[in-house]
Structure 1
Amino acid sequence: MTDANARRAAQLLHHRKAGLTPGEPIAPPIVPATTFHLPANGTGANGYSRAGTPGWTELEAQLSLLEEAETVVFPSGMAAIAAALFACLKAGDRVILPADGYYVTRVLATEFLAGLGVEAQMLATRDYDSADLGGAALVYIETPSNPGLDVCDIAAIAARARAAGARVVVDNTTMTPFLQRPLDLGADLVVAADTKAPGGHSDLLAGHVAGRDAALMARVRDWRRLSGATLGPFEAWLLHRGLETLELRLERMCASARFIAERLAAHGAVRDLRYPGLPGDPSHRMVGGQMANGGFLIGFTLADAGVAERFLSACPYLAQSTSFGATHSSAERRARWGDAVPEGFLRLSVGIEPVEELWRGIEGALAG
C-alpha cells in the first residue's frame, strides 16, 4: 500500500472523531427523518431529506476523504452515472462512450439522451488512446472495461480531451479510489457503483459522483435534488460501515485474484484468460502506474455456454450473481446479458475466501 492510501484508510476510519462531543456514538446513527425542525427565520444543517440528510453528510465526508474531492451520493451506480451525464450534456452535444463498457450506460444514452438531442458515439476502450476526440463535449471512460478488462490511458486522454474542449468522466467502479485515481489523472468527474466493493456485502444499492470543480459539482448536487435520486438512511449507514473495511478487503481480494488467475492460466480447460495483473495480459501496461495492481476481476472462456453453466453450478464457492466486488466470490456468463463476448465467457469476481480452498472448489468444478 502506498503512503497516501495508508493515510486515506486511516482517516476514513476516524473521520468523525474531531466533531464528537462527550457521550456521542462512535458509529453514526441511522436517522430516518424526512423533515427537520426549521423555526421562523431559523436555519439548520438539514431541512428536507431530498436535499440533505445526516446520513449523507457522514457518508459524503468519508467518500470525500477517499476521493480527495467533493462527493455526492446516489441510490445506485446508474443514478450516479445519469447525474454526471445530465450535469455535463445538453442538446446538440456529442458524448463518446465505451462500446465494451457497462451496457446500461449505453442503453441510457441511446434510449433517453438521444431523444433529448445528445449524440452518442461508441468506441472500444482499446481505441480511446488513438481516437480523434474533436467535436465531443464529453469523453466517458471505463477502464478496465467491464467485462473485457481492456484499459486506456486516463491522463493522456484527459489531456487530449481538454485540448479539444471536452470534459472527461471516468467510471472507476472496477478499481475504487484505492486502486486507481482518475481525478488525479485529469478527469473532471469520477462515478462509481458503491453497490460493488465499497459496500461489499451484496446488501445495498448506492453510487457516488466526485469532482474538484465546484460549479460542476453544484450541478450534480442540483440534479440529485431536482430528480429525487436520493439514497435511503439505512443504505447510507450500510455503505458507511462497508467503507471501513474496503482497504482490508481489497488487499485480500486482489492478492487472491492474482493467485487464481495464475492457476487458471495454466489450466487446460481455460481459454483467453484476462487479468491485468499478469505480465502477459494486454492490460498489464497500466499496472504499477495508473492502476495500483490487477484488481479482483478475471475474465476467461470455457468451451461453450453449457460447459460454463455447469462449471458455475458445480463450484461450491461461486455465487451465481450479476454483480461483483463482494466478500463472496461470484461469476456469471456475460453473453446472456448481450455483451459482445463468446458464449462461454465468464466474469469472475474474487472475494475474501481462503484462497487455497477457493481454488480447490474452482479446480474441482473445472474438472467436472
Structure 2
Amino acid sequence: MKPTGAPDDHAAAPLGDGTRAVHAGLPPDEPYAPPLAGPAFAAHYHLPGDPAGAPYTYGRDGNPTWTALERALAELEDPDGTAHAVAFASGMAAMSAVLLSRVRPGDVVVLPDDGYNLLARLRERLEAHGARVRRVPTGGEEQFRALSGASLLWLETPSNPGLDVCDVRALADAAHREGALVVVDNTLATPLGQRPLRLGADVSVASGTKALTGHGDVLLGYVACRDAEVADGVRQWRKIVGAVPGPMEAWLAHRSLATLRLRVDQQARTALAVARALAERPEVSGLRHPGLPEDAAHPLAARQMRRFGCVVSFTLPDLEHAERFLAALRLVHQATSFGGVRSTAERRGRWGGDAVPEGFVRLSVGVEDTEDVVADLLRALDAADRT
C-alpha cells in the first residue's frame, strides 16, 4: 500500500502508524471516485446462475462496506502480513463468536477473572456447554500454571478496569506448547497501541465501539486471525447467529480510522499527565496507568506496547466521596464506555460485576486540551474534599 503521490524510490519504506491508518483498506485510485465509497445498503444482490464463487450473495453473508473495513482492520493489526479480519455488530458478538465457535465439551479454557465483566456471562455459557473454565488474574505466574491441558487461553491486556498487564509473547509461547489457541482482547490498547498477532497470539479481538472508532456513536466489534480456518469459523458463526454489522456502522468505523493515530496520541499524552497529577493527591489510592513509570506494569507494558491508552483508574476513600467527585466534574462526563473523544468517568462498583472498591473510578481521557482535563479533575477533587 502506497499513499497517493509517494515517490517510487521510497515505496519499500515502512509506513508510519498515522499514514497507515489514513489509507488502510482504501481501494485503488479511480478517477472521479471517492476515496472511501459510501455504505452499501443491500439485503440482497443481483445473483444470476450458480452462486458458488460470487463475491456477494446475501446481506447476512457479506457486504462491500464490511469488506473494506475488514481489509483496513487486518492491515492495522498485522501490517504487511496475512491476517484475516471479521467485523461484527458489537464487541460482545466478536467475543462470543471466538469462544462459542472454538470451544467444545471437555475443553479447558483459561480466562481472566479481572477482565471485562460480561466475560463472566460467556464463562457461564461455556460451562453450561461442558467446557472446563479456569479463571486467573492478569499477570503473574498463575496464568502460566493454568495452561496445563488447555485448549484456549484468553488474555486481556491491559485488563479492564484494573489495568494489569501480562506478557503476551511468553504466555503465547507457553500456551502453544500445550496446543492451545491464544486470544487477546485488544480493546483498550487498539492496534496502534499493541499488536497481539505480532506478539505471538493467534487471534486479536476488540470492541470497535471504544477507541477504535472513538466518537461514541457506533457499536462494532471485530476479530483478526492469523489462520484462515479460524477466521472462517468465526465468520460462519456470524452468519448463523446473524451478528452482522450494519453498513452505516461499518462505514462510520472505517471513516474514523483516519484520525485514530491523532486521537490515541493525544489521549495517551493527557492520560499520563492526569496520572501524574492524581499521584500528588492524598485522597487518591490504587492509581493505575501503564504509561506511568511508577506503575507496577510499566516495564512490561513498555516492552510490548507502543502507546499506553486513554484509561486511568484510581480509588477514592468511599462511595460517597467518589459520587461527589463525579458530580462536580464539568468537562468529564459520567458514562460507562471509554476511548471516546470526550472524557468520561464512572464509579465501576455501581454495576456490581467488577471486584473493585466502592470508590473505584475508571477515567477515560478524551482529546480535549490536556490542561483543561487536568484542571477539571483537580477542581472536582477539591470540591469533593470540601463537601
Report the TM-score, using the length of structure 2 for normalisation.
Answer: 0.91
Pairing 1:361–2:380 present: no
Q: Distance in 2 between matches of 1:41 and 1:332?
A: 54
Which amino acid is the alignment partner of residue 348 of structure 1? L
Segments of 5+ residues of structure 1 without an aligned counterpart are: none
* Contact map agreement 2:331 2:376 (CA 8 A) in 1: yes
Which amino acid is the alignment partner of residue 46 of structure 1? Y
1:86 equivalent among 83, 100, 110: 100
Segments of 5+ residues of structure 2 without an aligned counterpart are: 1-11
Which amino acid is the alignment partner of residue 282 of structure 1? A
2:277 equivalent among 252, 263, 285: 263
**Deviations 1:285-320 (Å, cap 9, x if unpaired)?**
223211124321111111111111111111101111
Q: CA distance change for structure 1 residues 5 and 343 in 2, over 3 Å: closer, same or farther? A: farther
Pairing 1:113–2:126 present: yes
Q: Distance in 1 between matches of 2:166 and 2:302?
A: 14
Q: Which secondary structure does the structure 1 equivalent of 2:153 belong to?
A: strand
Q: CA distance change for structure 1 residues 16 and 296 in 2, over 3 Å: closer, same or farther? A: closer
Q: Report what 2:262 is aligned to.
A: 248
* Contact map agreement 2:25 2:75 (CA 8 A) in 1: no
Cα offset, 1:126, TM superposition: 2.3
* Contact map agreement 1:284 1:294 (CA 8 A) in 2: no
Q: Report what 2:137 is aligned to.
A: 124
**Deviations 1:131-186 (Å, cap 9, x if unpaired)?**
24101111100011110111110000000001111111000101011111111111
Q: CA distance change for structure 1 residues 18 and 102 in 2, over 3 Å: closer, same or farther? A: closer
Pairing 1:53–2:63 present: yes
Q: Report what 1:95 is aligned to.
A: 109
Q: CA distance change for structure 1 residues 300 and 6 in 2, over 3 Å: closer, same or farther? A: farther
Q: Report what 1:64 is aligned to.
A: 74
Which amino acid is the alignment partner of residue 66 of structure 2? W
**Deviations 1:83-112 (Å, cap 9, x if unpaired)?**
1112321111111110000010121111x2
1:136 equivalent among 143, 150, 159: 150
Q: Distance in 1 between matches of 2:324 and 2:155?
A: 34
Pairing 1:342–2:357 present: yes
Q: Which secondary structure does the structure 2 equivalent of 1:82 belong to?
A: helix
Pairing 1:40–2:49 present: yes
Q: Report what 2:297 is aligned to.
A: 283
Q: Which secondary structure does the structure 2 equivalent of 1:24 belong to?
A: coil
Which amino acid is the alignment partner of residue 40 of structure 2? V
* Contact map agreement 1:129 1:153 (CA 8 A) in 2: no
Q: Which secondary structure does the structure 1 equivalent of 2:287 belong to?
A: strand
2:35 equivalent among 22, 26, 30: 26
Q: Which secondary structure does the structure 2 equivalent of 1:178 belong to?
A: coil
1:152 equivalent among 156, 159, 166: 166
Q: Distance in 1 between matches of 2:27 and 2:285?
A: 53
Q: Distance in 2 between matches of 1:301 and 1:132?
A: 30
* Contact map agreement 2:289 2:295 (CA 8 A) in 1: yes
Higher helix content, 1 or 2: 1
**Deviations 1:221-260 (Å, cap 9, x if unpaired)?**
1111112110001101111111111111000000110011
Q: Distance in 2 between matches of 1:293 and 1:104?
A: 26
Q: Distance in 2 between matches of 1:340 and 1:8?
A: 36
Single out whichever of 64-73 and 7-16 deviates more from structure 2: 7-16
Q: CA distance change for structure 1 residues 4 and 153 in 2, over 3 Å: closer, same or farther? A: farther
Which amino acid is the alignment partner of residue 188 of structure 1? D
Which amino acid is the alignment partner of residue 282 of structure 2? G
Pairing 1:220–2:234 present: yes
Q: Which secondary structure does the structure 2 equivalent of 1:335 belong to?
A: helix
Single out whichever of 168-177 and 130-139 deviates more from structure 2: 130-139
**Deviations 1:205-228 (Å, cap 9, x if unpaired)?**
001000111111111111111121
Report the TM-score, using the length of structure 1 for normalisation.
Answer: 0.95
Q: Distance in 1 between matches of 2:148 and 2:247?
A: 43
Q: CA distance change for structure 1 residues 16 and 197 in 2, over 3 Å: closer, same or farther? A: closer
Q: Distance in 2 between matches of 1:102 and 1:29?
A: 33
Q: Which secondary structure does the structure 1 equivalent of 2:345 belong to?
A: strand
| TM-align CA RMSD | 1.7
Q: Distance in 2 between matches of 1:295 and 1:12?
A: 17
**Deviations 1:16-72 (Å, cap 9, x if unpaired)?**
665343222222212111100012246642110110001101111111110122100
